[in-house]
């Protein structure tokens, strides 16, 4: 579905996505957004649960790369360096180009790649346009500003559509 906003599946939190689930889907490369997906915005350093989750993915042979639209490079660069994962910046999601660049760097094709994020109009649209598995999470820390609350409400019907689809296919 190249122009679909509907995620393949919605999770409560990144930690709910297990290596077994990804392996069942044939995924060997997980691309991920950073802000509100892996950490609250402006969080300077990755916490231990996030480090443990990434280590568990690696132990199961699943590569990981952060693909972010963030242009204030320093925090993201330091966050990723601290986490020990590569970073594809200036991704310009919903363009799929940042995802293509990340897949090329990792040497993995779209059929074996998933994109994880908290936003439909950037992360999920980019994932569907790139032809990778679109996995969505509820925003870390919940929506905070008025705009985030509006965006969160607008996303709800698409997440509900994804849940209904998941129930149908079991």
Q: Please give the residue ranges that form the binding site for Mg ion (CB under 5 A).
A: 33, 35-37, 118
Closest to Mg ion by CB, 112 or 134: 134
Q: How far is the CB of 41 from Mg ion (least distance, A)?
A: 8
Q: How far is the CB of 55 from Mg ion (least distance, A)?
A: 22
Query: Alpha carbon 26 to chain centroid distance?
Result: 16
Q: How far is the CB of 24 from Mg ion (least distance, A)?
A: 25
Closest to Mg ion by CB, 7 or 28: 7
Three-state secondary structure along the chain? CCCCCCCCEEECCHHHCCHHHHHHCCCCEEEECCECCCECCCCCCCCHHHHHHHHHHHHCCCEEEEECCCCCHHHHHHHHHHHCCCEECCCCCCCCHHHHHHHHHHCCCHHHEEEEECCHHHHHHHHHHHCCEEEEECCCCCCCCHHHHHHHHHHHHHHHHHHHHHHHHC
Closest to Mg ion by CB, 27 or 67: 67
Q: Read off φ and ψ for residue 116, nearest 5 degrees.
A: -110, 135
Closest to Mg ion by CB, 28 or 138: 138
Q: How far is the CB of 33 from Mg ion (least distance, A)?
A: 4
Closest to Mg ion by CB, 37 or 113: 37
């Amino acid at each position: 579905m190249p122009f679909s906003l509907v995620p393949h599946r919605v999770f409560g939190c990144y930690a709910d996505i297990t290596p077994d689930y990804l392996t069942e889907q044939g995924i060997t490369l997980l691309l991920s957004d950073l802000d509100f997906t892996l950490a609250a915005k402006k969080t300077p350093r990755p916490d231990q649960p996030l480090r443990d989750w990434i280590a568990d993915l690696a132990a199961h042979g699943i590569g990981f790369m952060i693909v972010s639209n963030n242009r204030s490079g320093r925090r993201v660069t330091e966050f990723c360096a601290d986490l020990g994962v590569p970073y594809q910046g200036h991704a310009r999601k919903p363009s799929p180009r940042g995802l293509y660049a990340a897949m090329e760097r990792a040497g993995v094709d779209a059929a074996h790649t998933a994109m994880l994020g908290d936003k439909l109009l950037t992360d999920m649209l980019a994932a569907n346009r790139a032809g990778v598995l679109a996995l969505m999470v509820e925003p870390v820390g919940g929506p905070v500003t008025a705009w985030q609350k509006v965006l969160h409400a607008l996303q709800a019907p698409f997440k509900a559509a994804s849940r209904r689809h998941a129930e149908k296919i079991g």
